Amino acid sequence: MISYDEAFAIIMDNICIGKKTQLPLVECLGKVAAHAVFAPRNVPSFANSAMDGFAVRAADLEQATPAHPVRLPIIDTIGAGDNIAQIAAVGVAHIMTGAKIPNGFDAVVQIENVKISSGNAEFSAPAPLGQNIRESGQDVVLGQEIVKSGVTINAEIIMLLAAVGIANLEVFQAAKLQIFSTGNEIIDYNEPELPLGKIYNSTAPYLLARAKEIGVEATYGGVVADDAALFEKLIAQIPSGNIIITTGAVSMGKWDFIPQSLSKLGAKIHFHKVNIRPGKPIIFATLPNGNLFFGLPGNPISSAIGFKFFVEPALRAIGGKSQTVTIKAKLENSFTKAGNFRQFVKAITKIQGSQVVTIITKGQESFKISPMAAANSWAILPESASQFSAGEEIEIVPFGAEFGF
């Protein structure tokens, strides 16, 4: 049986990394930039008013005081979107927020500080040069690197790219997932009645949610009965370019048909069983058409671990994303591991003072979901030790993309 590290290396050796695609900007959320992006223009692209007020020539107000205010005629009104290049006459222009500053004007006085009467504006203080003006390029300069290669596109980056007029972006192509559950006992969670002997499908919604969280397009194919011929027909019909995930039917039971079915389909099985708990019977294969196949054990926690530590790293690598970073946390309770395997256990991790601390929860059985709903992380217990004492440091990863401390 291979180790987790060996299994991880095999997965990385058998995935295709670096495919790129051009997408409309609004479809790039969660995708990874395939190259650096440089601003094609200044932002703002022209000097404009930072507020409603009056565009002035600062020199005209140099002598203004409360006792001796300067009165000037209002000679124009400039709204946002207007393109008034120049105003030749002496006077001031009523200007709105975001409106272009006409040539020759070099300050804006806030409307609340101006007295208006009979078509004139009265100023009781000088206006420093540039006051209340957003200069061209004050936010972004032409040629500035605004997105680095490998950055995950979020809503804020989309706003920035839209501000410089970028409508399409080349990103790493995310994987496409097909998710199936197996088992005669499984029914979908939206069924109103739960017959005796049946269980609701909790793993498929979980896997779909986790895939969505990391920006991967996932399709749920439903529950497949314990019928090897039906399963083989279904898998053979899935077009190339997909990653297939199944839950259940990978162990040693009478109905655990997936390893044999993969062989019948001509798949190359890279590994079956890894020295971990829970989730030991996981299987990874490549189908004849190039589709990758991950067979996860059926217990909910085993499936969650299989996704987090085997499937998700592959999805991240294919999509150009960095891998989830482990952190060190001080263990607050002791825990005994039953053998020389790597164990992933549910934990509650938090900041306590200046330290990151973690508690390994009760209820570590692979069928128990409620302790996982109360936790936020996986503690990774290495093969080399079996006893873990309060006060020592252990490795932790969040359930999702980050802890959110």
- As a CATH number, domain 21-42+142-172 is 3.90.105.10
Q: Which pLDDT belongs to residue 405?
A: 62
CA–CA gap between residue 152 and residue 169 (Å, rounded): 12
Q: Which pLDDT belongs to residue 86?
A: 83
In this structure, are residues 136 and 45 in contact, taking their beta carbons and an 8 Å threshold? yes
CA–CA gap between residue 231 and residue 238 (Å, rounded): 11
Q: Which pLDDT belongs to residue 403?
A: 74
pLDDT of the chain, 405 residues: tens digit per residue: 999 999 999 999 999 887 899 999 999 998 999 999 999 999 999 999 999 999 999 999 999 999 999 999 999 999 999 998 788 889 999 999 999 999 999 999 999 999 999 999 999 999 999 999 999 999 999 999 999 999 999 999 999 999 999 999 999 998 999 999 999 999 998 999 999 999 999 999 999 999 998 889 899 999 999 899 999 999 999 999 999 999 998 987 777 899 999 999 999 999 999 999 999 999 999 999 999 999 999 999 999 999 999 999 999 999 999 898 899 999 999 999 989 999 999 999 999 999 999 999 999 999 999 999 999 999 999 999 999 999 999 999 999 877 766
CATH of the domain spanning 327-398, picked from 1.10.286.10, 1.20.1260.10, 2.40.340.10, 3.40.190.10: 2.40.340.10
CA–CA gap between residue 221 and residue 315 (Å, rounded): 19
pTM score, whole prediction: 0.82
Domain residue ranges of the chain, discontinuous segments joined by +:
4-19+173-318, 21-42+142-172, 48-134, 327-398
Q: Which pLDDT belongs to residue 87?
A: 87
CA–CA gap between residue 347 and residue 266 (Å, rounded): 40
- As a CATH number, domain 4-19+173-318 is 3.40.980.10
CA–CA gap between residue 292 and residue 15 (Å, rounded): 8
Bridge-partner residues for 42, per DSSP? Answer: none
* SS3 sequence of the chain: CECHHHHHHHHHHCCCCCCEEEEEHHHCCCCEECCCEECCCCECCCCEECCCEEEECHHHHCCCCCCCCEEEEEEEEECCCCCCCECCCCCEEEECCCCECCECCCEEEEHHHEEEECCEEEECCCCCCCCCEECCCCCECCCCEEECCCCECCHHHHHHHHHCCCCEEEEECCCEEEEEEECCCEECCCCCCCCCCCEECCHHHHHHHHHHHCCCEEEEEEEECCCHHHHHHHHHCCCCCCEEEEECCCCCCCCCCHHHHHHHCCCEEEEECECEECCCCCEEEECCCCCEEEEECCCHHHHHHHHHHHHHHHHHHHCCCCCCCCEEEEECCCEECCCCCEEEEEEEEEEECCEEEEEECCCCCCCCCHHHHHCCEEEEECCCCCEECCCCEEEEEECCCCCCC
Coil/strand/helix, residue 318: helix
In the CATH scheme, what architecture does the domain 48-134 have? Beta Complex (2.170)
Helices (H) and strands (E) in the chain, counts: 8, 28
Nearest to 153 by CA among 261, 325, 23: 23
Q: Which pLDDT belongs to residue 256?
A: 83
